[in-house]
Amino acid sequence: MAEGPYRVLGVSSDASDAEIKRAYRKLARQYHPDRNPDDAAAEERFKAIQAAYEAVGSAEARREHDQRRRMEDMFGGGGFQGNPFGGGFGGVDLGDILSQFMGGRGAPGGFDARFSQGFGGQTQSPATEHPQSTRGADIEAGLDITLEQASQGTEVRFSHRRMRRCEKCNGSSFGRSRRCAPCSGTGVQTKGSTLTVKVPPNADHGHQLRLKEMGHEHPEGEPGDLLITLRLDAQEGRRWEEGRLVQEVSVPVTTLLLGGKVRISTPAGKRVQIDVPEGTRIGDRRRLQGHGHSGGPLDIEFTLAEPEELSESQRRALEELRDSGL
């Protein structure tokens, strides 16, 4: 199986949209054909990076990709070809039906047994966990906010598409008649909804907000919920790893080898001086307590500062070092 787009771009699947964009720009520059003429390996990488960015580079494409991934996880990948309902539901967005059917992670979502039979017994319907509940599926979505917004709390307008009860039959044709034109007998239609999301102060990266009954509506039962996962954009040079903020600090090669000091700017905007021990390697880390988001830890990762251009004396000094065997 091909590498997933997040992996190709070197970001985690819960990275903010902005982080994905930055990672893409950096890699695209690095592997651009203009910079790597006649290098087939670089060209292949460049194409993979482009394709990955097309898959998750815009909010809509990313939502679609994540939703498809959740489905594949449930069906073991490539499970269905064509319409699992065996036709007859023309004009209905299959992805919507499936997302309605399956719901989010572990959600007691879904259409009832009449529909699950359409899958030919291929699926363990999540509804079997709650045989009595007929409920629309939950919707999962990510929401990007800044570190500052997360610290102070904020309100964000949020738009998403969801199944609403059919405006003509109000769900009554579901499972009974396919003749209701707006819904083709599914009892529901896809529509856009906009709402205001209240983010409480000191929200953490990955925190999930549950908005009751803002998920998919069910033609006969209760609506599902909208589950919004907060993604805190840590800005250039920072990323999240398992709930911790990691910040790259570029250090001149001489400081790595000989030791020294570097100054960094923390997420809170403070300037802090850090000791770099002699013999520090690229990728070495240090944890700074209290300098991360909301006073949490900040992990510093040392990277190599690449000089733009060497001066004459630097070049001479490096040549001497080379001749000495370093």
Footprint on this chain of Zn ion (rule: CB under 5 A): 166, 168-169, 173, 180, 183
Rounded to whole angstroms, what are the CA distances from 175 to 31, 186, 224, 289? 53, 7, 19, 58
CB-neighbour burial class of residue 306 (10 A; exposed 0-12, middle 13-18, buried 19+): exposed
Which one-letter amino acid corresponds to residue 119?
F
Residue nearest to Zn ion according to CB distances in the complex: 166
Q: Which is nearer to Zn ion, 97 or 166 (CB)?
A: 166
Smallest separation (angstroms) from Zn ion to the CB of 93: 15
Q: Which is nearer to Zn ion, 16 or 173 (CB)?
A: 173
Q: Which is nearer to Zn ion, 127 or 169 (CB)?
A: 169
Angle at 149 between CA 148 and CA 152, to 5 degrees: 85
Print burial letters for 195-225: b (CB count within 10 Å at least 16), e (below 16): eebebeeebebebebebeebbbbbbbbebbb
Smallest separation (angstroms) from Zn ion to the CB of 224: 19
Tokens of 53: 């960015």
Smallest separation (angstroms) from Zn ion to the CB of 97: 14
Smallest separation (angstroms) from Zn ion to the CB of 168: 5
Q: Which is nearer to Zn ion, 126 or 171 (CB)?
A: 171
Q: Which is nearer to Zn ion, 163 or 199 (CB)?
A: 163
CB-neighbour burial class of residue 145 (10 A; exposed 0-12, middle 13-18, buried 19+): buried
Smallest separation (angstroms) from Zn ion to the CB of 205: 41
Smallest separation (angstroms) from Zn ion to the CB of 98: 19
- Identify the H or E element spanning 33: none
Q: Helix H segments across 11-133?
A: 17-31, 40-56, 59-75, 94-102, 113-116
Q: Which residues are CB-contacts of 319 (< 8 A; sequence separation ≥ 6)? A: none
| SS3 call for 136 | coil
Q: Which is nearer to Zn ion, 150 or 183 (CB)?
A: 183
Smallest separation (angstroms) from Zn ion to the CB of 83: 19
Q: Which is nearer to Zn ion, 165 or 239 (CB)?
A: 165
